[in-house]
Amino acid sequence: MTIQVGDTLPTVGLTTMTAEGPKPVSLSELSSGKKIVLFAVPGAFTPTCSAQHLPGFLDKNKDLKEKGVDIVACVSVNDPFVMKAWGEDRNVGEDVLMLSDGNGEFTAAIGLEMDGSGFGLGTRSQRYAMIIDDGVVSVLNVESGPGLDVSSAETILEQL
């Protein structure tokens, strides 16, 4: 079942890369008492993800924070080493928390998997963006096909 507005985030863990190595991250703990914008991409270094989706959230980061967002995070079904390399390549710094869902467990738990095997990608995440208020989904925008429309930083900014 796909996660819906009003649902609490599952307790499935994600991973981020730190100077000490991979570190587990619980979105439910991270979002406690906070407003988080979480956006998901089918894959790091893929064209739309690298040229539009992630850069949009970097460009609008200050505006998002001014509207009360505590954390902007990107999640992908990639390993934490790839997410770290992609973040460095895109100069995300501290603006976007890069989260790995290496085994796709979080993506499966929220019901937003997609079959990318036709492109050699295997099971990946659909492209989406959500606003999480204190662990509860308040906005969920899932793209209905290829491209970037409802999950863009601009759209999320309008919904805050």
**Are 87 and 97 a contacting pair, CB within 8 Å?**
no
3 state SS of 83: helix
Where would I find the beta strands (DSSP E) of 33-154? 35-41, 71-76, 97-100, 113-115, 123-125, 128-133, 136-142
67: its two tokens = 């509207």
- The pLDDT value recorded for residue 46 is 85
Instruction: Write down all domains in the chain, each with its CATH number in brackets.
Output: 14-159 (3.40.30.10)
CA distance 99 to 24: 9
**Are 8 and 26 a contacting pair, CB within 8 Å?**
no
CA distance 23 to 89: 20
Q: Which of 17, 36, 44, 49 is catalytic?
A: 49
Is 74 marked active-site?
A: no
Bridge-based pairing of strands 35-41 and 128-133 is antiparallel
CA distance 108 to 97: 20
- The pLDDT value recorded for residue 31 is 94
- Identify residue 87 by its one-letter amino acid code: G
CA distance 135 to 38: 11
Bridge-based pairing of strands 113-115 and 14-18 is unpaired
pLDDT tens series, the chain, 160 aa: 799 999 999 999 999 999 999 999 999 899 999 999 999 999 899 888 888 899 999 999 999 999 999 999 999 999 999 999 999 999 999 999 999 999 999 999 999 998 887 777 768 899 999 999 999 999 999 999 888 999 999 999 999 9
Per-residue pLDDT of 37-55, as tens digits, reads 999 999 899 888 888 899 9
Bridge-based pairing of strands 35-41 and 123-125 is unpaired
- The pLDDT value recorded for residue 40 is 97
